[in-house]
Structure 1
Amino acid sequence: MYRMLIVDDEPIIVEGLYDMFQQIGDWPLELHRAYDAKAALDIARRSRIDILLTDIQMPEMDGIGLQREVVRLWPRCRSIFLTGYDDFDYIQSSLRSGALDYVLKTEGDPAIVAAVNKAVQAISQEVSLERLIAGARSRMTAALPTLRKEYLSELLGGEPSTAAARQGRFAELGIPLDPHRPVLPIVGRVDRWRDETGIADRPLYVYSIGNIFEEYFAATQRIVHVQLAPNRLVWLLQPKDGNDAANAEELHRYAVGTAEAVQQSCRRYLKLAISFVVGSAPCPWEELPSRYERLSLMFVRGLGIESEMLLSDRRLFEEESFGARARLRKLPQLGQLLEQKEQAAFERLYDEIVAAVPGHSGLQTGLGLEIYYGLASLFISYLNRKQLLADIAEQIQLGKLLSIREHATWDEVCAFYRELAGLLFRRHSDENERESGRIVRLVQEYIASNLGGDLSLAQLADAVYLAPFYLSRLYKQRTGVSLTDYIIDARIVRAKELLADTPLKIHEIGLRIGYESAPYFTRFFKRITGRTPQEYRDAADRL
């Protein structure tokens, strides 16, 4: 939707053009009108203007001066000048000032429509999908390392993905791994930086560590490297021969032995102490978050030394405990879904998280306690931000949110939080319904009180403190009727009342419902009702 402002000091011309473009229903235009440059600038200061259709010769400020001011506010605005002067020098001046086109008033409506169509096409081409994608692709190429790091960090953090989705993202980001094949993770840590190494120098050393790693592994493995923290590095490997059925023990020995060589080279050439934890076997992408957490915890557990560790995760932890902890790490996602009001997705993830704890023993396990208080923190934070804690306390037993001792079983914990979430989702839905209904009522009241004034979308949006386009969508979604149609209907209803019940003259009634020109009020009324205002009045008098 593009916004066009029509400006002329002759109201009959403005009303005629406004009425003509309103009747071209398939054009993506939101129309505004003004009868002098000052009023036009007031509109431009409140709302974006895409096309300025203005007379050149106007009192106080002419069209060229107006165009300069509008373009200063909205540099992408396209300008079309209307002129009654077939004067080459004047036209050249308008084109030099940045006009897209000019139209002689004597050329009539078809020439004006053609000029506006030209402006619409120019804007469409400028923001066309192809141009946007081409620009995004160019910027994306420059940002690939950052985008690749962000995406891999999301995968390691437990972001859900499918093989098909990974395949598309791998291609976009130039990740040389197969999204369908398992992957072997190796986690590294810089235990100690050199004393003379400043913070600004550390990225260079990290890059050098990556180079050494690739020199040793690249002959047999496809490799992706990601830095998750200043001293935490992760490599994901897949054998180049594509033989995933190879002996896992042989691959593990190779990875540990080669990581040891990398460790020694970093000590010798970079004077850096590096620790590595090597995955015991390749894992499916779906299990990568839990495997990464397992490897990371090895740095915490250690085996008696604090520097240059070289460990494997084999047989140190039970897989089941890590699968459960991987679900626990999804609690922040649960909070996001609550904020975004996505109830179905929230409930699916909630069921997945609480299922990590056996129902019969949940209250006695550390994992159960961690999930309980993680949920408590999530909900208390949400209720405080929304200032709902006092209201909700009247509807739930607040003690059950503050202490696990208030629950007899894990199933009771699960039911309590599910009920609390359902209450919050229902409350949001009710509030949204009430607020959108209030906005509609305020807009309709404003229209009823200002039928003879400015009822542009920008003005209505200002009245209810919303963005114009959002207000238009909200109103149509809530009522099933567009704002334009509602305003037309309100003006027709009021015009009929004034015609039937008052002695006001036709042009006075036109002014009261927003039409400066009596001929165009007559034309508008007849187009909607099939009768002129006088014909309608005569019929009403006979009743």
Structure 2
Amino acid sequence: MYRLLLVDDEPIIVEGLHDLFRGSDELQLEIYCAFNAREALAIAGKMRIDVVLTDIAMPEMNGIELQKEMNRLWPRCKVVFLTGYNDFDYIRSSLRQGAIDYVLKTEEDETIVAAIAKTLDLIEREWQYEQMLDKARGSLVKAMPMLRKEYLSELLRGEAASELSRRASFAELGVPLDAAAPVLFVAGRVDSWRDDLIVGDKALFLFSVNNIVEDFFGPAFRLVYVPLTPDRLLWIMQPKPEAFPADGAQAEEIRRFLLGTMESAQGACRDYLKLPMSFVVGGSLISWEELPDKYDRVSVLFARGLGLGQQMLLTDEHMLDLQRSEDRGKVNRIHLLGQYLENKEHDKFNDLYADIMASVHGAPNMQTGIALEVFFSLAAIFVSYLNRSQLMSEMQGKIQINQLTSIQEHASWRDVTDYFQKLADLLFSRTADENEQVTDDVVRKLNAYIEANLHKDVSLTQLSEVAFLAPAYLSRLYKMKTGVSITDYITTLRIQIAKRLLTESQLQIREVGAAIGYDTPSYFSRFFRRETDMTPQEYRDAVKKS
């Protein structure tokens, strides 16, 4: 919903324009009125204004001067001039100052509405999604390496990504790899840091290690560098077609080249940087979907194999087959369950949870291996969520809390699966109920405020301050819950109260209008007639006769 500010030193014109736009069904506007430029600036000083429809010739400060001040306060604000001067030079001067359009006071109502509609359309186009993204891209240049690292780290953790989404992300982040082609990897570890390093030197040395690897492998491979931890590095690679002919010997040739070249790169790190490095080389091409499992098993190999000494150079043949690749990949995504719980994504949670628990079902021993890993990972996710949400005490009356932290309390993996599923369902259900209750409370609070303050300011801006919500969000929330807009509710309530006061009291027409927020009798009469097809006096007389 956009905000329109009407400005003219003639009250009858402002009131007429207010009625005109209030009755315009095609425009969703929040309307404010000012009777001189100073009043207009006072309103603009309190809230964002999107469009100003203003007279040009006004005392003290004219419309062109007002426009300059409005653009200083709100650079995106658009100004349409309303003038009684059919003078080309005067209008041309206003357009040179940046006005969007002008209309003559003698124009038909439809022309005035069309001018504002055209201005709103211009605002909408300026805020188009793609334009906003283009501007954002310019400010993200410096952050690109970090964003690239974060995205590739997500892929390594097993985040689901289709070939199409990978291709789009690679293009966005400048990843020089084919989203559909298989990949190789090389993982590295700094075995020990030099004693003479000072703060900041480690990052510089890691950068130098990457430069060495790129110098050795760049002619034959496309590659991207992923710094994982202060002493762990990873390169994801794809062979260039011109470097390795596609024949039966291609796989062995690539493997041989990788090992030989990595040995040279390792020596360069030792000789030139005085930095002992160990590496694991993935000697066979794998799909992007297989990469998370390979990376996970490399991490194990770093801990078990490379921990035996320094400057080791191994291939992925040394990897321990701790778990089937497909199941391991599912388990690696267990952290996503916490995100789905936080974001209230019930269906996504259920789908991934079913996959993870099925991958463990049938394990020979629930007390060892992957079953324990999954159980305590789930326990950590739920305990953290319950504590942060202050729901631990509440859940104690609905589930056996001791079963949350002890796998011995469960007779089988099926019991474990059912237990955590029940807990998740309880939490999702409670969140849905809580959201519904909060929405109900907001609507009740607003309705009570409107009824008590109908004679005062009940604009969307004021109501948003009462509800502590942004105006646009409040408007959508109210209509979603009640089926009617806040504006329509206020209009209906005003008419109901006005009718009751007209028939059950001796108040004068102007007093009835003031009671529902209309200080000007003519303004109230036009409003009442628009809604009932009768003036207030005609309605009062008709009721008395019936």
* Distance in structure 1 (CA, Å) of the matches to 2:450 and 2:198: 65
In the superposition, the TM-score normalised over structure 1's length comes to 0.88
User: Cα–Cα, structure 1 residues 243 and 509, in superposed 2: closer, same or farther, change >3 Å?
Assistant: farther
* Distance in structure 2 (CA, Å) of the matches to 1:244 and 1:299: 33
2:381 paired residue number: 378
Which shows bigger deviation, 212-221 or 408-417?
212-221
In the superposition, the TM-score normalised over structure 2's length comes to 0.88
- How far residue 466 of structure 1 moved from its aligned partner, in angstroms, is 1.0
Q: Does the residue aligned with 2:123 lie in a helix, a strand or coil?
A: helix
Alignment of 1:380-419 (within 5 A): 380-419=383-422
Q: For structure 1, which runs of at least 5 residues remain unmatched after alignment?
A: none
2:2 paired residue number: 2
Assess if the C-alpha contact under 8 Å between 1:144 and 1:173 holds in 2. Answer: yes
Which shows bigger deviation, 19-28 or 480-489?
19-28
Assess if the C-alpha contact under 8 Å between 2:278 and 2:306 holds in 1. Answer: no
Assess if the C-alpha contact under 8 Å between 1:50 and 1:78 holds in 2. Answer: yes
User: Cα–Cα, structure 1 residues 100 and 179, in superposed 2: closer, same or farther, change >3 Å?
Assistant: closer
Q: For structure 2, which runs of at least 5 residues remain unmatched after alignment?
A: none
- How far residue 74 of structure 1 moved from its aligned partner, in angstroms, is 3.4
User: Cα–Cα, structure 1 residues 453 and 338, in superposed 2: closer, same or farther, change >3 Å?
Assistant: same
Assess if the C-alpha contact under 8 Å between 2:258 and 2:283 holds in 1. Answer: no
2:353 paired residue number: 350
How far does the alpha carbon of each residue in 1:327-383 deviate from its partner, in whole angstroms, 9 at most, with x for none? 333232111100100000001111122223234645222322222122112111111
Q: Does 1:217 align with 2:217?
A: yes
* Distance in structure 2 (CA, Å) of the matches to 1:431 and 1:419: 18
Alignment of 1:472-483 (within 5 A): 472-483=475-486
* Distance in structure 2 (CA, Å) of the matches to 1:505 and 1:30: 29
Assess if the C-alpha contact under 8 Å between 1:294 and 1:322 holds in 2. Answer: no
How far does the alpha carbon of each residue in 1:431-480 deviate from its partner, in whole angstroms, 9 at most, with x for none? 11111111111111222222222121111111111111111000111111
1:310 to 313, 316, 319: 313
How far does the alpha carbon of each residue in 1:186-216 deviate from its partner, in whole angstroms, 9 at most, with x for none? 1112333444444434444333323322333
- How far residue 221 of structure 1 moved from its aligned partner, in angstroms, is 2.4
Assess if the C-alpha contact under 8 Å between 1:166 and 1:179 holds in 2. Answer: yes
* Distance in structure 2 (CA, Å) of the matches to 1:486 and 1:246: 77
How far does the alpha carbon of each residue in 1:261-306 deviate from its partner, in whole angstroms, 9 at most, with x for none? 1111222233322211111422211111111111122221125643
1:528 to 519, 528, 531: 531
1:275 paired residue number: 278
1:162 paired residue number: 162
Assess if the C-alpha contact under 8 Å between 2:363 and 2:371 holds in 1. Answer: no
Assess if the C-alpha contact under 8 Å between 2:163 and 2:180 holds in 1. Answer: yes
Q: Which amino acid aligns with 1:14?
A: V
2:444 paired residue number: 441
1:258 paired residue number: 261
- How far residue 222 of structure 1 moved from its aligned partner, in angstroms, is 2.4
1:369 to 368, 372, 376: 372
Q: Does the residue aligned with 1:353 lie in a helix, a strand or coil?
A: helix
Assess if the C-alpha contact under 8 Å between 1:37 and 1:62 holds in 2. Answer: yes
Q: Which amino acid aligns with 1:351?
A: A
2:183 paired residue number: 183
Q: Does the residue aligned with 2:359 lie in a helix, a strand or coil?
A: coil
1:495 paired residue number: 498
- How far residue 498 of structure 1 moved from its aligned partner, in angstroms, is 1.6
User: Cα–Cα, structure 1 residues 95 and 203, in superposed 2: closer, same or farther, change >3 Å?
Assistant: same
Assess if the C-alpha contact under 8 Å between 2:50 and 2:78 holds in 1. Answer: yes
2:474 paired residue number: 471
How far does the alpha carbon of each residue in 1:388-439 deviate from its partner, in whole angstroms, 9 at most, with x for none? 1111111111111132222111110110010000001111111111111111
Q: Does 1:338 align with 2:366?
A: no
* Distance in structure 2 (CA, Å) of the matches to 1:443 and 1:517: 25
Q: Does 1:515 align with 2:518?
A: yes
Assess if the C-alpha contact under 8 Å between 1:451 and 1:512 holds in 2. Answer: yes
Q: Which amino acid aligns with 2:170?
A: F
Q: Which amino acid aligns with 2:14?
A: V
Cα RMSD between the aligned structures? Answer: 3.3
Assess if the C-alpha contact under 8 Å between 2:290 and 2:325 holds in 1. Answer: no
Assess if the C-alpha contact under 8 Å between 2:361 and 2:414 holds in 1. Answer: no
User: Cα–Cα, structure 1 residues 253 and 135, in superposed 2: closer, same or farther, change >3 Å?
Assistant: same
1:457 to 457, 460, 463: 460
Assess if the C-alpha contact under 8 Å between 1:15 and 1:516 holds in 2. Answer: no
Which shows bigger deviation, 133-142 or 528-537?
133-142
- How far residue 11 of structure 1 moved from its aligned partner, in angstroms, is 4.4
Which shows bigger deviation, 94-103 or 221-230?
94-103
2:17 paired residue number: 17
Q: Does 1:298 align with 2:309?
A: no
- How far residue 145 of structure 1 moved from its aligned partner, in angstroms, is 3.3
